[in-house]
Chains A and B, each alone.
Chain A
Amino acid sequence: MATKILGERIKRKEDPELIQGRGHFVDDFKLDGMLHMAFARSPHGHAKIISINTEAARKAHGVAAVLTGEDIKGKLGFVPCAAGMEGLKVPDHPCLAMERVRYVGEPVAAVIATDRYLATDAANLIEVEYEMLPAVTDMEKAIEEGSPLVHESFGDNIAFTAKLEGGDWKSIEGDPSVKVLKQRLINQRLGPMAMETRGVIASYSPGEDTLTVWSSTQIPHILKTQLSLMTKIDEARCRVIAPEVGGAFGSKLNVYAEEGVACFASKMLGKPVKWIEGRRENLAVTIHGRDQINDLEIYYKPDGTVVGLKCRILADMGAYHQLLTPAIPTLTALMILGCYDIKNVAVETIGVFTNKMSTDAYRGAGRPEAAYIIERVIDMVAHELNMDPVDVRMRNFPPPGKDITLATGVSYDTANYQKTLKKVLKLSGYSKLRKEQQRLRKKGKYLGIGLSTYVEICAMGPSSRMPAGGWESGTVRVEVTGKVTVLSGASPHGQGEQTSFAQIVAEELGVPYDDITVYHGDTAQVPMGIGTFGSRTTAVGGTAIFYAAQRVKKKMARIAAHKLGVKPGELVFEDGKIHTRDGSKSIAFKAVAEEAYFARELPPGMEPGLSEMYVFEPPNYTYPFGAHVAVTEVDEKTGEVKLRNYFAVDDCGRILNPMLVDGQVHGGIAQGVGQALVESLIYDENGQLLTGSLMDYAIPRATLFPWFECANTETRTPVNPLGVKGVGEAGTIGSTPAIVNAVVDALSPLGVRHIDMPLKPEKIWNILKQAAPGGQA
């Protein structure tokens, strides 16, 4: 009997080396003659570079080279931006600053030395004379006339303006039953904060004229193309390897200045050059997430129907564009209606340059902002109408079904929002919680119950709507010995797809899970690929592998049929054998593999070998959804918020490995809770990063969380044959609004309608103090 493997809780293939400290992250590689790089960075938010004195650094012990903007000018290309939209302003983004610095941490000079300590010592000897310029860090000030300009040549600080409108606004004009509510929401700037900071080793071999790069990246193939363009080394001579990558969350879905400089330095010196980012650098110069101001006008009826939503999104780009910077807030606009059939929508998105580090994709990338907006909107409407937020949600959900097109023009693949909501209400004991809340309120205690019913856009995505292709490649190669090699162009870094991909192939080919080895991340080994982001790896990359396995299977069936004297369609792949349905004729999987390579009795005209690649182009995105309930207690004396319970029902389509899904959901919830309660990157008006170390930037610790109670519904997508939607970002998207809704709910007896994140004790304490009798209102 065949063992069922797809859909089962299978332990990870990735783990044995990692739990023994034998995995190799970038910093774990040591190459012969390797040099180490350190940077001198801008201490100012905005300044003119008058002079750079590198003399002492050049003379310092162990120093091989010092590079400044002048050294790379015209020789090393700009940091690329792949996002393209009408009227987008794209500033030149040199890898080392030229003439001006525009944010704190901008690289000004690089020192390459024999040892990382010596490189850092020498970087500290570089003297830069700056002429301070006025900085702008507040988006609203940045768009005012007369603001200091981040890029003078543009004439203003507006990177782009985009509009998204849908519906028939006239239909609600003058309707006396329609009420309007205005609210501003601030979605604060965050640090992605992967536990492994960024790192790169560039190794140029002058003899072969080849460049090999080890980088902690999510996109080895895209990085290869871009580094080739930047360094002008023929792409066919470039190779990028993403070894073990210690978390990324979007922050390594990028091409960074330091990667360019490392390649340039290695080519110049003919030696490998390593750069490992420090944690303070990571906070300052790895992309940031979020940072939007959302001004809302909410149009609703007394029965709780939301009939229109207007929003102006101010989105902070930072000083330069990184790979996808301007594209991120456009996802907010696209997903702003969430899972509600709101008939009218108008969103204006304004990208704003400021003297800060670039924002870009951080777990959810534009969708957490959208979910936060719409989930707060629904709760505010419930608050205004004194309705249960469950009822407002139910009233505005579209009926369950397929291809649900909203006023934004977005068409959701499959949906059953009622089912997840009902399930989480049951899981959480919602009505009991409401009764408990009533009892506690009488005692002056603040218990809050917060809902969030999110939908997200995943499995990115159709190439027509992606900046650089949205397909993914999968290769399945059965070796001579019958062992199976799987290659994916995706580049997972903790999500566990070596495991789920092996499950897909084991199920398809009927071979043992242990016989399958999955590789990814090396552009020399995997012919083509896009990478891992946007919850795409299983839905797009897994599908490519599924189809590649089917191709291999088809070929093997033909070989087996030829040998057994039957028709290929009669054959079943099971338990390492290929046999007829009735079991009368059988041949070992291994024997067919051997035949494919020895090629003695192949069907006439068949090519020898057993390796098939498939490139899957997804016809649409997928739209996973879920319903979360957070229960919070607010300490009436200190203002501290305690997350008491958390319930999550997520629907990511078909589940291939429930253990991996739970893991993704837990991690996602934790990051979303981090934004709601503790995390915030703050710059002062001069562009100084005030939260530049782990002493100042709070990462959630184990003690912040209750036990997460998770469950699923499985609404399959027709977008891919596996029926999977994606789950990498779900938890983050769902949890932030659930927490804020819970805390606002707790304080609603005090007339509180909204509180901006993070919900730190001092903020809550002030609200409590002002509300108290005799408090200062």
Chain B
Amino acid sequence: MKIRININGNWREDDVEPRLLLVHYLREVAGLTGTHIGCETSLCGACTVLLNGEAAKSCTILAVQADGAEVTTIEGLASNGHLHPLQQGFWEEHGLHCGFCTPGMIMASHQLLARNPHPTREEIRHALEGNLCRCTGYQHIIKAVEWAVEHGGR
């Protein structure tokens, strides 16, 4: 099936199998491997991207369902060589160890700050409940989001 998707500001057209998952499309077809696959069941959040501005788990969406949509991946977050405040926050506050969950964490945090620019710690924990991290114990991730809030938010 032919699909047309805007990824990080650029439209592209591809002919894909109907069963191709969006995450595989992004990684294998578009070559953007920053979006990771942790479970293929929407439970871990590693594959979180923005679909028309909303955080979505790309492992349980078919690529064809994203036809006509705008997708933002972790690769599209920095602009003009400047890190996004969330990316910078994760760096400043040691919000990652192995970095595998990080793209999903950052995209989910992006969604949170879009809805709630000044979240409490409890609200950050709640917003990231759909994203698993096995390394950090989450505390430095919360500090990373707080850093982003203090430095220009989303």
Seen from chain A, the residues whose Cβ lies within 8 Å of a Cβ on chain B are 11-12, 14-16, 18-25, 27-28, 30, 117, 193-197, 244-247, 249, 276, 278-279, 493-496, 659-660, 662-663, 666-671, 693-695, 699, 701-703, 705, 707-708, 731
Within 1-56 of B, Cβ neighbours of A (below 8 Å) are at: 17, 19-20, 27-28, 32-41, 43-44, 46
Q: Contacts A244-B98, A494-B97 known; A195 to B134 CB distance under 8 Å?
A: yes
Q: A117-B19, A694-B39 are in contact. Are A247 and B98 (CB under 8 A)?
A: yes
A117 to chain B, nearest CB (A): 7
With contact pairs A117-B19, A494-B135, A699-B132 given, residues A196 and B97 touching in the complex (Cβ less than 8 Å): no
Interface status of B150 (Cβ within 8 A of chain A): no
**Can you spell out 26 A-B residue pairs with CB atoms less than 8 angstroms apart?**
A12-B91, A18-B96, A19-B96, A20-B34, A20-B87, A21-B103, A22-B34, A22-B75, A25-B36, A27-B37, A195-B101, A195-B133, A195-B134, A196-B100, A246-B98, A246-B99, A662-B94, A666-B138, A667-B97, A667-B135, A669-B137, A670-B137, A694-B41, A701-B129, A702-B131, A702-B142
The reply to whether B75 and A195 form a contact with Cβ atoms under 8 Å apart is no
User: Do A279 and B44 form a contact, CB below 8 Å, given A11-B92, A21-B73, A25-B36?
Assistant: yes
Q: Does B136 contact A (CB under 8 A)?
A: yes
Complex alpha-carbon distance, A24 and B131, angstroms: 21
How far is the CB of A286 from the nearest CB of chain B, in Å?
13
Residues from chain B with a CB closer than 8 A to the CB of A20 are 34, 74-75, 77-78, 83, 87
Q: Produce 1/0 per residue, B56-68, CB < 8 A to A.
A: 0000000000000
- B89's closest neighbor in chain A, by CB? A19
Asked if residues B40 and A495 are in contact (CB atoms below 8 Å), the reply is: no
Q: From B96, which residue of chain A is reached at the shortest CB distance?
A: A18
Chain B interface, >50% SS class: loop
A residues near B113, Cβ cutoff 8 Å: none
- Rounded to whole angstroms, the CA-CA distance of A494 and B78 in the bound complex is 23
CB closest residue in chain A, given B97: A494
Question: A21 to B121, Cβ gap below 8 A?
Answer: no
In angstroms, Cα B97 to Cα A495, docked, is 6
Known interface pairs A19-B87, A27-B33; A701-B132 also in contact (CB < 8 Å): yes
Interface string of B79-91 (1 = CB under 8 A from A): 0000100010011
Q: Is B154 among interface residues, defined by CB-CB distance under 8 A?
A: no
Q: A18-B96, A195-B38, A244-B99 are in contact. Are A667 and B91 (CB under 8 A)?
A: no
Query: At the interface, yes or no: B71 with Cβ under 8 Å from chain A?
Result: no
Whether A15 pairs with B134 at a CB distance below 8 angstroms is no
Partner of B100, one of A195, A699, A702: A195
Assess whether B139 is in contact with A666, with CB atoms less than 8 Å apart.
yes
Q: Within 8 Å CB of A708, what residues of B?
A: 137, 139
Q: How far is the CA of A224 from the CA of B11 in the complex (A)?
A: 43
The answer, among B91, B98, B141, for a CB contact under 8 Å with A195, is B98
Nearest-Cβ distance from residue B20 to partner chain A, whole angstroms:
8
* Min distance, Cβ B133 to any Cβ of chain A, angstroms: 7
Partner of B99, one of A249, A494, A705: A494
Complex contacts, A707 vs chain B, CB 8 Å: 121, 139
How far apart sit A245 and B35, CA to CA, in the bound complex (Å)? 15
Q: How many A-B residue pairs have CB under 8 A?
A: 171
Could you say which residues of chain A place their CB within 8 Å of the CB of B90? 15, 19
Instruction: Give the nearest-CB partner of B35 in chain A.
Output: A21
Q: In the bound complex, how far is the Cα of B87 from the Cα of A544, in angstroms?
A: 33
Q: Is B111 an interface residue (CB 8 A)?
A: no
Q: In the complex, which residue of chain B has the Cβ closest to the Cβ of A278?
A: B40
Q: Please name all residues of chain B whose beta carbon is closer than 8 Å to the beta carbon of A667 when the two chains form the complex.
A: 97, 134-137
> Which residue of chain B has its CB nearest to the CB of A668?
B137
The CA of A699 and the CA of B41, in the complex, are separated in Å by 14
Q: Which residues of B contact A117 (CB under 8 A)?
A: 17, 19-20
Residue of A nearest to B124 (CB): A702
Most buried by A among B98, B103, B142: B98
B125 interface hit (Cβ, 8 Å): yes
Given the known inter-chain contacts A16-B91, A21-B34, A663-B94, please indicate yes or no for A695 contacting B137, CB distance below 8 A.
no
Distance in angstroms between the alpha carbons of A635 and B32 in the assembled complex: 46
A325 to B83, CA, bound (A): 44
Most buried by A among B87, B106, B128, B142: B87
Beta-carbon contacts under 8 Å, B101-130 to A: 101-103, 106, 121, 124-126, 128-129
Considering the complex, give the chain B residue whose CB is closest to the CB of A363.
B134
B81 → chain A closest CB, angstroms: 11
Q: Are A703 and B125 in contact (CB under 8 A)?
A: yes
**For B87, what are the chain A residues with a Cβ–Cβ distance below 8 Å?**
19-20
Inter-chain contacts of B35 with A (CB < 8 A): 21
**Would you call B102 and A19 a contact (CB within 8 A)?**
yes
A contact residues around B132 at 8 Å (CB): 195, 694, 699, 701
Asked whether, in the complex, the Cβ of B41 is within 8 Å of the Cβ of A693, the reply is: yes
Give complex CA distance A349, B65 in Å: 56
Enumerate chain B residues within 8 angstroms of A247, measured Cβ to Cβ: 97-98, 100, 134-135
Tell me which residues across on chain B come within 8 A of A12, comparing CB atoms.
91, 94
Which single member of A21, A244, A659 contacts B32 (CB below 8 Å)? A21
Taken together as a complex, chains A and B put the C-alpha atoms of A246 and B134 apart, in Å, by 10
Q: Is the CB of A694 within 8 A of B141?
A: no
Q: Is the CB of A18 within 8 A of B99?
A: yes
Cβ A666 vs Cβ B99 within 8 A: no
Q: Which residues of B contact A245 (CB under 8 A)?
A: 98
Structural contact, B97 and A705, CB atoms closer than 8 A? no
User: With a CB–CB cut-off of 8 A, which chain A residues contact B100?
Assistant: 25, 194-196, 244, 246-247
Nearest-neighbour CB distance to chain B for A220, whole angstroms, equals 16
Give A512 to B139 CA distance when docked, in angstroms.
Answer: 30
Assembled-state Cα–Cα distance A663/B91 (Å): 13
Chain A residues within an 8 Å CB radius of B97: 247, 494-496, 663, 667
A493 to B33, CA, bound (A): 18
Residues of B within 8 A of A19 (CB): 74, 83, 87, 90-91, 96, 99, 102, 106
Docked-complex contact A694 and B94, CB < 8 angstroms: no
